Amino acid sequence: RIRGGSSLSASNDPLIVIDGLAMDNDGVKGVANPLSMVNPNDIETFTVLKDASATAIYGSRASNGVIIITTKKGAAGQKMKVSYDGNVSAGVLTNTLEVMTGDQYREFMGATDLGTANTDWQKEIYRTAISTDHTVSIMGGTKNMPYRASIGLTSQNGVLKTSGMQRVTAAVNLSPSFFDKHLNVNFNAKGMYIHNNYSAGVVGAALAMDPTIPVKGGATNVYGKEYFSKDVMDKFFGGYNQPTTGANYNDPEWTLTFDPNTTNNPVAALNQQSSKANSGAFVGNLELDYQIHGFEDLRLHANFGADYSYGHQRY
């Protein structure tokens, strides 16, 4: 947010302009923010407009402010230079909520039909998230043809196990000039492919799940129910211990079902649910600036742009 919330129903997001091309504010399915399609290593300047002057330039779309991004370009006469930028980072959960251990819960309940485990469900769903980012770029320029191209690869893991994002970005910029620099051309093309793995609904389950039940392996004494045996859990729930609604033992094809009124095993939810999104985007523009011969103070300027994106999420 740049100017705060001004509407209860309409978008309050700022207008994003990349190399002179105004982006679509509807967003891309599976991408949290349109800024994620720009590799930070490609950015030359990042300018925020928040006053009424922004609206005068870009119209009503700019009523929530404008973010203007200009990407890096080559320079005329520059020798070709290849550069690499990379980093590795670690995301660490600094703290968890304090809940009862299995021993504390058994003492608090004073019950004999609980399990014998001491499962820390928060520890079971979180991890240290290692992420990497790599960018290779080539830039330079002949007398009349500056150029720059880059490709980036980002792999970002989440602190929730199985969550993460992988992104590939590519960018090309050509800035030739003709007719003794009277005609200047600026061509930009950027592409992005992003894959997201989501993990939802497990944080609350980790706080509410019975700490006396192990993650796997059965717990035949829990609630005095024989169908909590390892063989039955393997058959119906992939080995994960789950609260159940019971079974009809008189039916030779009897089945066991998860009780929807209880808490799902959060580790099972991480490993047995799949929520993935694949998204792609392309933005490009061709900018022409012509100084009329003999009337150099008179310029003709044209900007042709394209903004294409797709997204698909499957659960």
Residue 8: which residues within 8 A CB-CB, separation 6 or more?
Answer: none
The model's pLDDT over 153-181, given as tens digits with 9 standing for 90+, comes to: 999 999 999 999 999 999 999 999 999 88
With 0.75 as the threshold, say if the pTM is over it: yes
Provide the pLDDT for residue 224. Answer: 46
Place of tokens 């192990």: 214
Residue 202: closest CA among 254, 161, 234: 161
Amino acid code (one letter) for 18? I
Q: Which two tokens stand for residue 225?
A: 């129910």
The secondary structure of 155-171, three-state, reads EEECCECCCEEEEEEEE
3-state SS class at 225: coil
Provide the pLDDT for residue 25. Answer: 67
End-to-end CA distance of the chain: 30
Provide the pLDDT for residue 246. Answer: 67
**Interatomic CA distance for residues 197 and 276, integer angstroms:** 5
Q: Which two tokens stand for residue 12?
A: 């309050």
**Under-70 pLDDT residues of the chain:** 25-30, 32, 219-228, 246-250
Provide the pLDDT for residue 226. Answer: 44
Provide the pLDDT for residue 167. Answer: 93
Partners of 71 in the β-ladder: 43
Provide the pLDDT for residue 70. Answer: 92
